[in-house]
Amino acid sequence: MAQKSQIVAELKRALRASGHTYTDVARSLDLSVASVKRLFSTEDLSLHRVDQICELIGLDLREILNRALDRAEPANQLTAAQESELISDPKLLFMTWLVLIRTPFEEMVKEYKFTEREALQFLIRLDRLKVIELQPGNRVRLLVSRHFSWRPGGPVQKYIHQKLLREFFASAFAGPLEEFFFHGGRVSDDALGQIKRALRAASRECAEIIERDRSTTQPRNGAAFVLALRPWNYSGFAEFDRNPRNSSSQ
């Protein structure tokens, strides 16, 4: 259940979006403007008064509660329809990547080929798709969690496999700042679970390093890392296995 503070915050957003002011609320509740401001600042709103405010702005309490819950519980994945919309426009997908790595609006315009108007238009599209909440000053609030992931086998993951990974693995990892590990073995399901947890922890640690690095004054370049795990046997070796259990199609 949404907390009172979340409900009050959602009411404030709905008031701004509908163009109503505290003066309108005061008139509706038959109170002074000062009293209304005090009610919102102390979050001392009764259910009856919340209903009255909802009636003023043309929403019911259920909608306010649903919006508050959506903000309180960021999504770990987008819907297939949302992902399909993202990959329909390469610029929109690129802008999505920029907001996911928490790129400030000023940097989007300075570092990439977006005019302020064009960047804002893409942010508005992402707001409508409920990927972000566009806030005053072109600031962005992500509506997905820090541990967000693309849908397994979904539109974006397919796009990544077909486009990005082919290019990513096309050349040798021989540079001084490059690294490549490929290791496998026959393991139990318990060990597979342990490896999966270790990879998740490594992924989160790498993401935190990237986040902390945003404050550096050193030049920054694009970089990417991949962590992957699956029960798998190379098809070229399958003919040597006396008791085949897994195949490369998994």
Q: What is the pLDDT of residues 124-158, one digit of tens each?
A: 999 999 899 898 899 998 888 766 889 999 999 99
Q: 56: closest CA among 30, 86, 91? A: 30
Which DSSP helix (H) or strand (E) runs through 158?
A: helix 155-159
User: In angstroms, rounded to a whole number, what is the distance separating the alpha carbons of residues 226 and 35?
Assistant: 55
Residue 31, both tokens? 């109170």
Q: What's the burial of 7, exposed, middle or buried (CB within 10 Å: 0-12/13-18/19+)?
A: buried
- Whether pTM > 0.75 for this model: the answer is no
User: In angstroms, rounded to a whole number, what is the distance separating the alpha carbons of residues 143 and 131?
Assistant: 5
User: In angstroms, rounded to a whole number, what is the distance separating the alpha carbons of residues 49 and 213?
Assistant: 46
Q: What angle do CA 194, 196, 198 make, to 5 degrees?
A: 70
Query: What would the pLDDT profile of 60-110 be if each residue is shown by its tens digit?
Result: 888 888 777 666 666 788 999 999 999 999 999 999 999 988 889 999 999
Which DSSP helix (H) or strand (E) runs through 205?
A: helix 189-212
**Biggest CA pair distance of the chain:** 84
> In the block, which residue shows the tokens 């098809």?
235
Q: Are 101 and 210 in contact (CB under 8 A)?
A: yes
Q: Is residue 123 predicted with pLDDT exceeding 90?
A: yes
